Structures are given as C-alpha cells and as structure tokens.
Amino acid sequence: MMDLSSINPVVLAAALMVAATPILLAAIGELVVEKAGVLNLGVEGMMITGAVTGFAVAVTTGNAYIGMVAAVLGGAALALVFALLTQYLMSNQVATGLALTLFGLGLSALIGQGYVGISPPRTPKIDFGWLSEIPVLGPVLFRHDPLVYVSIFIVAAVWWFLRHSRAGRILRAVGENHDAAHALGYRVRAVRVAAIAFGGACAGLGGAYLSLIRVPQWTEGMTAGAGWIALALVVFASWRPWRALIGAYLFGGIVVLQLNLQAAGWRIPVEYLAMSPYLVTILVLVIMSSGRARRSLSAPGSLGRPFHAAG
Amino acid sequence: MTTPLLAIEGLTKSYPGVVANDDVSMAIGEGEIHALLGENGAGKSTLVKAIYGLVRPDSGQMRWRGAPYAPAAPHEARATGVAMVFQHFSLFDALDVAENVALGMDDPPPIRQLAARIRKVSTEYGLPLDPGRLAGDLSAGERQRVEIIRCLLQNPDLLIMDEPTSVLTPQEVEILFETLRKLREEGRSILYISHKLDEIRSLCETATILRLGKVVASSDPRAMSARQLAELMVGTALTPPERAGLAPGEVLLEVTGLSHRAPSAFGTSLKEISLSVRAGEILGIGGVAGNGQDELLAALSGELRSKHQAIRLKGQPMGRYGPNTRRALGLLCAPEERLGHAAAPEMSLTENTLLTAAWREKLVRRGFIDWKRAQGFAEKIISRFDVRTPGPHVAARALSGGNLQKFVIGREIIQRPEVLIVNQPTWGVDAAAAAAIRQALMDLAQGGAAVVVISQDLDELLEIADRFCALNGGRLSAPRPVAGLTMEEVGLMLGGAGDMEVAGEATAGAAEGAAHAET
C-alpha cells in the first residue's frame, strides 16, 4: 500500500541538492568545454577517474579534502589526454571521448581494487549556526557539506566569466567561429586545452563527491551514467550556466522522489530509471549530430569541428 | 621622394608545391589608396597575411616608415598601426556587435563605454551601427561595418581591405567609398584588394598587379582601361562570351507561391516566390548573400520539399519529389559550395560523377556501379570542359577551384538538362575558367534548355542573363529584361542601401531583424 504521508518535503528538498551536486559539477565543466567548441564525450570516464583517485587519496591520507584535490587533478589529467589526442593529433572528438569513457571505467576499476568495502574519512557539514535553525529553509539550504556550496559558487563564477570577462568572451569566440578567432590572432588550441582541463577537473570533483560524500564508498562503475546525464544536461540547458543548475536540481529531485516513492510502496521497476540516462544520451547525440537542430538550440558554432590552423 | 608608409622588398613565401609570393616588392605611400590586383591564387592573400603578421615570409623584408617591420602576430601588426577587414568576415554570430568589436581590440575598454564609442564613431563615418544587436542578425553590409568600425577604433595608419565590395549592393558600395575617401583625407592609407576593375579605377591612385605570385605591373589604374588591367592580371587576352539571340520557347519551369520556413536559425525563409523560365532563356537571380539563395536552390533541387503544385516542370507538379526524381525528369542543379555539396572532396572524379549522373547516364546497372562507364563519363567531362587534372582518378579536393567548378557544372550540362539551376557558378574561379563556364551556360540555353543563374556577381548576370530579378529577404522581385537595365536600377531592386543610410532607420532595421529571428 502506498503511504505518501511518509514523504517529508523538507527532507526531500535537502536530499535533492545532494543528489544533484555531482551532475551539476560535471555539467558545468562540460558546458565550458563545449562553449570553447569542443565536444568531450568522456565526462563519465573523467568522473569515475576522479571518484577513484579522490577516494584512494582520501583513504590513504585520511583527509577528504586532499582527496578532492587529487580528484580534480585526476580528472584534469585524463582530460589532458583527450586534449592531446584531439587538439594536437587531430583525432575525432566523438570517438576519442567515447574511448576516454571506456578507458576511465577500466582504469578506475584497476585502481580501486584494493579499496572496495572501505569507508572514507568523513566530510563535516558546514556549521551555519542559527541559519540552519530556520524552519524549512534551514534544513534545506544550510545543512550541507562544503562542496554543495562550492558547486553553486562554480556555477556563478562560470556565468560571470562567460558573460562579463574578457577571457570568457575570447573562449566564446573560439567556440563560435574558430577560424575567425584565429584570424584575429587568438590561440585557439591553447584556449581549448585550458577549457578541456577545466572540464576534466570539474568532472573529477563531481566523481569525488559521489565516492566521498554521497555514497560514500567505492564500487566499480559507481557513476552509473551520471556523466552522460551531465552531457545531456548541457544541451538541455542551451549552454547556459544557471539553466544547468536548475536542470541538475530537477534531475536530482526526480531521483530522490523516485527513491521516496519506492520506499512509500509505489512499485515502479528500478530498471526504468536506470534506462533513462542512456535514452536521454541517445536523444542528445542525435540532436548534436544534426546541423539544423544545433543551430536552433544555439549551440556554439564550431562545436565538435576540428581546427586546423591554415597558413 | 618621401619615405613610404610601408615598403615591401623582395618578399618570398612558398608553401609545399607552390610559391605564393615570389620576390614581391611594393610601396604604399602615406594617405594613399593602393590597389592590390590579381586573380584568385595570385598571392594577394598571402601577401596581406604577411603584412598583418599571420604568415611569416621565407625571405625579404618590410619597412614601416623606414624602420624594419616584421610582425610575428596580428597584435604586433595592430600595435604598429595596421588594421585589416577580412574577406570572409571574421565575426561571431552568437555575440553582439560590441563584443565582436572588443574581440578585435588588444586592450578593449569595458563593454558599455565601448558601445558608446561604437555609436559615436560609426555615425561620424556615416556607417550607423547598433552595438547591442547580434552579429548573426546583421546583413552583409552591416557585418562589414562592424569590421570596419572595429578597425577604425584602433586608429590605424594602414587599413587593409580584402575584397570588401563582393557582398554589397551598388548603393552600399558608394557609401563605403565615401567612407574610404574620408579616411584618406585624414591621412590614413588603405590597401584595397579587389578584382573589380571599375571600382579600382574610381577609387585608387596606385595599383600593384600580381600574377602567379609575382608583381607584373605597378601603375596608375586611372590611366589604364579596365581591359588592359584585366589582361595584365590574367596574362592573356580575354574574349567576352557571345550568343546569338533566340526567341524563347515554351515555359519549362514554373514556380508559383513557393514559401518555405528557414531551415536554420540564421537562414532565410522563402516568401511567396514565383518565377517562370522558358526554353532557350537564361533567368538571372541577383542578390546580396544570405537573402535566400541557398534556400531557393535547395527548394528547386528537391533538397527541401515544398507544396506539390508550387514547382512545375513542363506543367508537371514536382514540389514533393526529391532530387533524384527531379533529375530523372530533367531538372538539374549545381549548388554553390563545390567541396562538400556539389562534390565529395575525398572521392575521385569518377566517383563524383555518380553523385548526380547515375541515373541519366546509366552509370549504375542492376544495382551495381558500371565503373567503366563512369570513368568514361568523367573523361568526357574533363576533355569537353578543359578540366586541368592528371585524370579521373584524382580526388576532387586536389583540383583548383576553377577546375573543380568546370567539372561540377560540366557534369550537369553534359547530362542535357531541360532545366539547369546554378548558384554562384563562377565564385572564386579565375577569369579564364569563369568565361568558359559562362559560355557553356549560354550554349546550353542556345540549345533549348532553360537556365536559372543565381549569382551575387551582378556584372555576370547582366552579361549572360535575358531577364533579371532580385532576391531580397527571401522575396523575389518581378523579372525585368536585362537589355537596358542600369546598375542603379539593379541596386534599387536589390533593396538599395536599405536601412543603411540613416541612423534612425537602422534601429527600425534592428526591430525587423528581431522579428525575423523569431520566425
């Protein structure tokens, strides 16, 4: 029998932010990458690499924050492999991204062999004092771990960077028309490599959030499609940071609600939800490969196109 | 003699297999509009890129007011006082005008201050611009303004303009020339690259002519006829195409009320287009780029389907048919983009014949490709249209623009179409090949086919077409006989200078642009 009264909206809203954070981190990183005109389908691989490096380093050092830094570096390192292949060796971005995902899944399984079943050091929640005592708002907004706030800060920073800074304008220009940017004397490759590294770092941090805070444990393949959802989110957010935030929270809400509904006795096979990231990904890939749809969604003009400097 | 602003001495630059600039020397004086003339592939672009710091010369040197000048990157060139307006506008569609301008500056002020300066400078020079509009919504003329303003804000001593008028209506060209003369009066120099000889004769006082990377002449263009200049550029005497008049026959292609939504966000919607072409007639469709040319060709070729009755070939409706059915019925097309649309770049010429001629030339039998026949057909095109290539096994990409264009147009003409539609048949093609293509189109009409030529080259249309109509914002004007049509009338048909003359009207244009973006 279903008992909806067991679902507490306040708890639900609080859990939603936690569920959304890893996807949000990965999505905001990929958003910057795509704004620079590069399509990196390796988000899932970078995420899980971040998850395992973060977990391993946190367990070894006993400090979760050092683990997160390691996750950032791990994600960025894998992203730089992608950058080397696509920007300097001119490999195909789609194929390389897919390979990166497979590689990341395999590599993480290898590294993580000795860490299954261990608990990581805890990440304390931030103490906001009286703020967290406010009814409803307190538990929803002010009783989280630091990364939840860091992720929101990153969204704001990316928004400001893309919208108001000169470097952000150059990044958008490179993504919009790389030939013109080159003609004006901008270093297309350097901008793109930097963006790819940032995307990897964010994905790595998102992965670490899963293994260190949300779950918190290491299991093989634990990202379970979160990277693909992040990719889809970037498209549905039409490459706008705040929309990505809303989208991530919506998705987090659905995940949490579904869990709650199951707990309340509503029987929907878990497989349906497990399927959804892949369905969504297929849909997004179809959209991305059609020139018309890309235009009407206001995708960056040079997205996924290889850049050869002429002359 | 005074020191020139920029002196180039013995500049040489070679790429694998081709010497783009061979011992080029020239001098640009202070306050002078200097023309750089030459065919495609003569080395103009390479020379200009060297001046702008995009290309490093192999040998030779440049002097700026007597001092050695060797820019390693565009920002060094800009710091010296060189600014450049590119041929293919280096604008970013999804960014607004002010942002586009800021990207071209080395040390841009905050966007709001910049927007105010753009408004001020652009009105001063008679080129009003709204800094808040998206570049993707601007017309070609306005886009060029953005580039010019971007350069002017740097306060340059030398302004390089690469083929600035190729996308402008005659009235817009006049406005541009006024601005350029104003700049000269201020003591700035302009290096003006073009192959339009009349323009150069009315604007420039010195001309350097390049052919195959070498300077072949340096002279005062006003003292020479356009024909002399052309022959210096090409190196041989040119014969203009000829044809005898022919009484037009029955109507072969009839289009009525053809409308189509823009297939992409920055594309153009076709609005109620009607036209008819008779046997033996060439209909010229002029218009500035981005007014619906690509969409019109796609609708006629069958790449875009429309209402079945909107397009009729000899009375038979065919709006719903795809390209293959239309080809089978006798309607053939040659699109503008050679590489990637008319031909597959990585495939051989033989394979490329199959793209459009498989059915009409029976190159496919029982589902299998008849390679012998295909190769024979490719060889036939190569010999009849004088395509310079080692043979039909060569990849399409390896051909020069002019030769590939002769190939793709020839491929359609040999199939004896009843109606042929071509878009920009001589774009980026050298003068000799262009003359050959025009002659071939006229011969085809002479043989009783109906030909539609969509082109931005007005001289070309006036030369070969019987009737002329203008495509403007997706609408087609009523046709006018070409005989007796003046350039000014043509300009008005193309929409004249449109919203460009008065600043107040420019904002009205902005509103229209916004409305257009919504549709």
| A295 vs B55, B75, B264: nearest CB | B264
Give B517's pLDDT tier (boundaries 50, 70, 90): very low
B104 vs chain A: nearest CA distance in angstroms?
Answer: 6
A35 touches chain B (CB under 8 A): no
Give B349's pLDDT tier (boundaries 50, 70, 90): very high
d(Cα A179, Cα B85) in Å, to the nearest integer? 14
d(Cα B392, Cα B412) in Å, to the nearest integer? 16
Q: Would you call B95 and A166 a contact, using CB atoms and an 8 Å cutoff?
A: no
Return the percentage of chain A with pLDDT > 90, whole number.
Answer: 45
A177 touches chain B (CB under 8 A): yes
Number of H helices, E strands in chain A: 13, 0
Q: What is the pLDDT of residues B403-449, one digit of tens each?
A: 888 899 999 999 999 999 999 888 777 777 888 899 999 999 988 89
Per-residue model confidence (pLDDT) at position A3? 60
Six-digit token pair at A40?
């990196």
B63 forms beta bridges with B7, B68
Question: Is B258:B272 a contact under the CB 8 Å cutoff?
Answer: yes
Q: Does any domain span residue A73?
A: yes
Q: Does any domain span residue A310?
A: no
Q: Would you call B74 and A301 a contact, using CB atoms and an 8 Å cutoff?
A: no
Helix (H) / strand (E) element for B13: namely: strand B6-15
Q: Would you call A176 and B75 a contact, using CB atoms and an 8 Å cutoff?
A: no
Q: Does any domain span residue A41?
A: yes
Cα separation of the two ends of chain B:
60
Concatenate the DSSP letters of all residues of B391-427 into one string. -TTSBGGGS-HHHHHHHHHHHHHHT--SEEEEESTTT
| B266 vs A179, A186, A295: nearest CB | A295
Residue in the block written with tokens 């490329």: B352
Q: Which residues contact B513 (CB under 8 A, 6 or more apart)?
A: B133, B137, B138
Q: In A, which residues are within 8 Å of B46 by CB distance? A: 311
Mean pLDDT within B122-138: 84
Sign of the CA dihedral with A143 first, then A146, A152, and A153 last: positive
Q: Which residue in chain B is spatially nearest to A177 when comparing CA positions?
A: B92
Per-residue model confidence (pLDDT) at position B516? 43
Identify the contact set of chain B against chain A, taking CB-CB distances under 8 A.
46, 49, 53-55, 73-75, 86, 88-95, 99, 102-104, 108, 263-266
Q: Would you call B75 and A185 a contact, using CB atoms and an 8 Å cutoff?
A: yes
Report if pTM > 0.90: no
How many domains does the structure of chain A reveal?
Answer: 1
Question: Is B363:B352 a contact under the CB 8 Å cutoff?
Answer: no
Question: Which has the minimum average pLDDT: A89-93, A269-273, B32-36?
Answer: A269-273
d(Cα A263, Cα A4) in Å, to the nearest integer? 10
Q: Which residue in chain B is spatially nearest to A290 when comparing CA positions?
A: B264
Q: Single out the residue of B194, B172, B82, B161 nearest to residue B126, CA to CA.
A: B172
Helix (H) / strand (E) element for B49: namely: helix B44-51
A285 vs chain B: nearest CA distance in angstroms?
Answer: 19
Question: Is B41:B400 a contact under the CB 8 Å cutoff?
Answer: yes
| B99 vs A169, A186, A296: nearest CB | A169
Sign of the CA dihedral with B123 first, then B125, B129, and B130 last: negative
Q: Does any domain span residue A135?
A: no
B95 vs chain A: nearest CA distance in angstroms?
Answer: 8
Question: Is A184:B74 a contact under the CB 8 Å cutoff?
Answer: yes
- Biggest alpha carbon distance in chain A? 72
Per-residue model confidence (pLDDT) at position B506? 37
d(Cα B23, Cα B13) in Å, to the nearest integer? 8
Q: Would you call B103 and A300 a contact, using CB atoms and an 8 Å cutoff?
A: no
Q: Would you call A185 and B93 a contact, using CB atoms and an 8 Å cutoff?
A: no
Q: What is the pLDDT of residues A172-226, one digit of tens each?
A: 999 998 988 888 888 999 999 999 999 999 999 999 999 998 888 898 888 888 8
Cα–Cα distances in angstroms (integers) from residue A118 to residues A55, A66, A105, A221, B30, in the given order: 10, 17, 20, 16, 77
* pLDDT of A250 higher than 50: yes
Q: In A, which residues are within 8 Å of B303 by CB distance? A: none
Q: Which domain holds residue A214?
A: 4-116+143-296
Cα–Cα distances in angstroms (integers) from residue A7 to residues A136, A248, B187, B362, in the given order: 15, 21, 78, 71
Six-digit token pair at B286?
């002029």
Helix (H, G, I), strand (E, B) or coil at A28: helix
Give A281's pLDDT tier (boundaries 50, 70, 90): low
Q: How far is CA B290 from the centre of its chain?
A: 11
Q: Would you call A181 and B103 a contact, using CB atoms and an 8 Å cutoff?
A: yes
- Strand B214-219 with B206-211, pairing: antiparallel
Q: Would you call A295 and B54 a contact, using CB atoms and an 8 Å cutoff?
A: no
d(Cα A84, Cα A91) in Å, to the nearest integer? 9
Question: Is A47:A22 a contact under the CB 8 Å cutoff?
Answer: yes
Q: What is the pLDDT of residues A83-113, one digit of tens each?
A: 999 999 989 999 999 999 999 999 999 999 8
d(Cα B339, Cα A206) in Å, to the nearest integer? 43
Question: Is B513:B133 a contact under the CB 8 Å cutoff?
Answer: yes
What torsion do the CA atoms of B432, B436, B441, B445 make, to the nearest 10 degrees?
Answer: 130
Q: In B, which residues are within 8 Å of A173 by CB distance? A: 92, 95, 103
B361 vs chain A: nearest CA distance in angstroms?
Answer: 32
Domains and CATH numbers, chain B: 6-234 (3.40.50.300), 241-330+419-425+450-519 (3.40.50.300), 336-416 (no CATH)
Q: What is the pLDDT of residues B264-311, one digit of tens each?
A: 666 788 889 999 999 989 999 988 877 888 899 999 999 889 899 999
Q: Would you call A172 and B91 a contact, using CB atoms and an 8 Å cutoff?
A: no
Cα–Cα distances in angstroms (integers) from residue B509 to residues B128, B137, B281, B497, in the given order: 11, 10, 36, 12
Which residue blocks in B153-283 are alpha helix, DSSP H?
A: 170-185, 197-203, 226-234
Q: Does any domain span residue A195?
A: yes
Helix (H, G, I), strand (E, B) or coil at B277: strand
Q: Does any domain span residue A223?
A: yes
CB pairs below 8 Å between A and B: how many? 63
Q: Would you call B108 and A183 a contact, using CB atoms and an 8 Å cutoff?
A: no
Question: Is A28:A204 a contact under the CB 8 Å cutoff?
Answer: no
Give A151's pLDDT tier (boundaries 50, 70, 90): very high
Per-residue model confidence (pLDDT) at position B513? 40
Helix (H, G, I), strand (E, B) or coil at A129: helix
d(Cα B172, Cα B490) in Å, to the nearest integer? 12
| B54 vs A291, A298, A311: nearest CB | A311
Q: Which residues contact B486 (CB under 8 A, 6 or more apart)?
A: none
Six-digit token pair at A297?
């969604």
Per-residue model confidence (pLDDT) at position A102? 94
Mean pLDDT within B46-53: 89
Q: Would you call A311 and B90 a contact, using CB atoms and an 8 Å cutoff?
A: no
Six-digit token pair at B498?
């449109």
The residue of A162, A184, A239, A240 whose CB has the most chain B CBs within 10 angstroms, and thus the best one to mutate to test that interface, is: A184
Q: What is the pLDDT of residues B457-467, one digit of tens each?
A: 888 888 889 99
* pLDDT of B500 higher than 60: no
Q: What is the pLDDT of residues B55-97, one digit of tens each?
A: 888 988 899 988 899 898 888 888 899 998 876 667 888 888 9
What torsion do the CA atoms of A173, A176, A179, A180 make, to the nearest 10 degrees?
Answer: -50
A168 touches chain B (CB under 8 A): no
Cα–Cα distances in angstroms (integers) from residue B226 to residues A97, B176, B197, B208, B483, in the given order: 56, 21, 6, 14, 22
In the sheet that B311-313 helps form, which strands lie side by side, from edge to edge?
A: B270-278, B251-260, B311-313, B316-317
A308 touches chain B (CB under 8 A): no
Six-digit token pair at B67?
């001092």
Per-residue model confidence (pLDDT) at position B265? 65
Q: In A, which residues are within 8 Å of B90 by CB distance? A: 177, 179-181, 183-184
* pLDDT of B196 higher than 80: no
Mean pLDDT within B207-235: 82
Per-residue model confidence (pLDDT) at position B246? 64
Concatenate the DSSP letters of all residues of A40-52 into one string. -TTHHHHHHHHHH
d(Cα B287, Cα B294) in Å, to the nearest integer? 11
Core vs surface per residue A124-150: b (16+ CB within 10 A) or e: eebeeeeebeeeeebbbbbbbbbbbee
User: What average pLDDT is seen over chain B?
Assistant: 84
What backbone phi and psi angles, to 5 degrees, belong to A160?
A: -65, -45
DSSP symbol at B260:
E
| B90 vs A180, A291, A311: nearest CB | A180
Q: Which residue in chain A is spatially nearest to B50 when comparing CA positions?
A: A311
A163 touches chain B (CB under 8 A): no
Question: Which has the minimum average pLDDT: A258-262, B77-81, B122-126?
Answer: A258-262
- Strand B311-313 with B282-286, pairing: unpaired
d(Cα A238, Cα A233) in Å, to the nearest integer? 9
Question: Which has the minimum average pLDDT: A138-147, B311-320, B464-473?
Answer: A138-147
Six-digit token pair at B343?
């031909």
